[in-house]
């Protein structure tokens, strides 16, 4: 098995046209005066300085060195600067770079930090496809007057890891010639700016690298990642990462504790369930925050079996749990002054003679009873035990993340996660973190109307509601176990995977939630409200 491509990222003082690299990446807005943006340095130096905007220095300098090649490309209409647009030019010995990659940034007035992140992802994705080994980025230049340079470097690092990632761990052929290491440097001739870029790179590297780790774990199939193997991985993370401890409960211990929800879901598989508890406690003064992640290592639907089409994608039903594991790792490596639990109920949902059945009544860890009406509504059955466990640990905030409902995907498509909860401040904090991290969310209700649908006539609750509003009724079910604790629920069905390759990323697991949750916790660590 080959290693997933490794990224080495640093900031380096270097002139834009002098930098020796396989690929020099330049960002360009799509404003109507695009030609004026690339022309100035072909005039006199004094005239250029009075007409060129500072954000256009790179492209105008390169255009001068390349004899107007960029201008000709723009005139031909082969590069318009629109988001996702790109074009390749060749240095031909006129500049230090062998190639120049122009990346479109879209309209300047609409640009955000996520514009930078996506541009870096596109550049890294293109570099990996071109099989180059060395890349130089100048993507900070168009934004340096609008955003803090350290923050720009942070999102560039995240994007570089995201775009360069592809999962081919089990491909034994090696004809693709892809380099095992991609060296990326952020360049600027000003050493003071380089120092500011360096400040942001380190945190961006941590999050970017760990999101790639999350994508790899999620992409691994069920015959490689079982509940027990996921527990072993969590123990490895705890052992190798300062500040993290890990406790794993097996099926016998869960039976003694009364975790009927997890045990029921895992009852049909020979791969027995596990209940994983990670703890990161950097300070006793901070309130305890629980991250709860659904980890169904494979979901067939159980007795209420799913259609066979695309069932192989159900290896990704562990994505929420892996996001929690990865976020705890990121928080520890960042050294945030927080007190966090990572709670991951792990099970495999398969049909067999020992499976739980529609009609069964399950007593959960909280003592509440649940009538099972559909064994494919298994995520809430394991999460309710985990949320109750977090309440018992006296956590002041609980955030769960799960590929919970196809209904959320129907509502929001593949662009945003559903966000529900019982505390408006917590919801707003997660919305702010989503905006900052580029992992988008949209608020949905889970109020009393939906909770009423989850009442059973023969038990406290049932595990499915009507055919309408499934994302909302699923969240309303989970709310019954949070009690008075501040709680939020992220339904990541639809955003957990990239079905087809894009200009920003290869297909497969997206690692959604790692940037969002880590950003939220970084903001909490900084005291943001």
508 CB-side CA count, 13 A: 20
**Strand boundaries in 41-176, DSSP class E:** 86-90, 99-104, 134-137
DSSP 340: E
List active site positions: 306, 380
371 - beta bridge partners? Answer: 361, 462
Helix (H) or strand (E) holding 366: none
Neighbour tally for 480: CB within 10 Å: 20
C-alpha dihedral (223, 415, 441, 419), degrees to nearest 10: -60
**Strand boundaries in 397-522, DSSP class E:** 397-402, 417-421, 441-443, 461-462, 486-491, 497-498, 508-509
What does the block give as tokens for 195? 């120092």
**Closest by CA position to 387, among listed 373, 404, 374:** 404
Task: Give the Å distances, CA to CA, from 365 to 189, 252, 389, 392, 395.
Answer: 60, 14, 8, 10, 16
Helix ranges restricted to H, 350-401:
379-392
What does the block give as tokens for 159? 């994007």
What does the block give as tokens for 91? 């240095």
User: Do 524 and 338 contact (CB within 8 A), yes or no?
Assistant: yes
Q: Can you tell me the distance from the alpha carbon of 273 to that of 270, in angstroms, rounded to the nearest whole number?
A: 9
Buried/exposed 499-522: b ≥16 CB within 10 Å, e otherwise = eeeebbbbebbbbbbbbbbbbbbb
What does the block give as tokens for 331? 């928080």
**Closest by CA position to 510, among listed 322, 297, 291:** 322
DSSP codes, 119-143: HHHHHHHHHHHHT-SEEEE-TTGGG
């Amino acid at each position: 098995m080959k290693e997933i491509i490794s990224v080495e990222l640093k900031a380096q003082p270097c002139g834009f046209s002098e930098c020796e690299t396989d690929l020099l990446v330049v960002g360009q807005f799509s404003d109507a005066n695009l030609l004026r943006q690339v022309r100035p340095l072909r005039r006199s130096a004094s005239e250029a300085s009075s007409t060129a905007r500072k954000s256009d220095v790179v492209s105008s300098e390169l255009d001068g060195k390349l004899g107007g090649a960029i201008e000709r490309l723009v005139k031909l209409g082969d590069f318009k600067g629109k988001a996702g647009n790109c074009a390749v030019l060749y240095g031909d010995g006129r500049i230090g770079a062998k190639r120049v990659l122009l990346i479109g940034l879209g309209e300047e007035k609409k640009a955000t930090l996520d514009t930078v992140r996506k541009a870096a992802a596109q550049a890294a994705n293109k570099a990996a496809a071109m099989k180059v080994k060395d890349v130089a980025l100048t993507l900070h230049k168009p934004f340096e007057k609008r955003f803090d340079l350290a923050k720009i470097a942070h999102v560039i690092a995240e994007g570089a890891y995201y775009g360069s990632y592809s999962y081919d761990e089990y491909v034994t052929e090696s004809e693709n010639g892809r380099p095992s290491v991609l060296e990326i440097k952020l360049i600027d001739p000003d050493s003071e700016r380089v120092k500011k870029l360096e400040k942001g790179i380190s945190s961006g590297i941590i999050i970017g690298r760990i999101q790639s780790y999350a994508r790899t774990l999620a992409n691994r199939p069920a015959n490689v990642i079982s509940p027990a193997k996921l527990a072993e991985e969590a123990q490895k993370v705890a052992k190798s990462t300062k500040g993290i401890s890990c406790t794993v409960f097996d099926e016998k211990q869960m039976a003694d504790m009364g975790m009927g929800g997890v045990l029921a879901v895992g009852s049909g598989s020979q791969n027995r369930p596990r209940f994983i508890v990670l703890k990161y406690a950097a300070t006793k003064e901070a309130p305890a925050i629980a991250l709860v992640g659904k980890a169904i290592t494979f979901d067939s639907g159980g007795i209420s079996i799913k259609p066979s089409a695309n069932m192989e994608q159900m290896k990704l039903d562990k994505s929420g749990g892996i996001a929690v594991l990865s976020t705890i790792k990121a928080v520890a490596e960042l050294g945030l002054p927080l007190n966090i639990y990572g709670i991951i109920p792990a099970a495999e949902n398969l049909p067999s003679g020992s499976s739980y059945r529609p009609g069964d009544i399950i007593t959960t860890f909280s003592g509440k009873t649940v009538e099972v009406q559909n064994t494919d509504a298994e995520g809430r059955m394991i999460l309710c035990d985990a949320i109750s466990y977090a309440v018992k640990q006296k956590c002041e905030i609980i955030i769960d993340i799960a590929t919970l409902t196809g209904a959320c995907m129907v509502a929001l498509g593949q662009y945003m996660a559903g966000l529900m909860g019982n505390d408006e401040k917590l919801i707003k904090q997660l919305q702010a973190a989503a905006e900052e991290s580029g992992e988008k969310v949209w608020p949905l209700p889970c109020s009393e109307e939906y909770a009423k649908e989850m009442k059973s006539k023969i038990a406290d609750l049932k595990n499915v509601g009507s055919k309408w509003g499934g994302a909302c009724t699923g969240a309303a079910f989970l709310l019954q176990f949070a009690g008075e604790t501040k709680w939020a629920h992220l339904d990541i069905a639809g955003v957990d995977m990239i079905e087809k390759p894009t200009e920003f990323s290869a297909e497969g697991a997206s690692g959604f939630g790692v940037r969002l949750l880590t950003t939220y916790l970084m903001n909490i660590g900084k005291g943001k409200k």
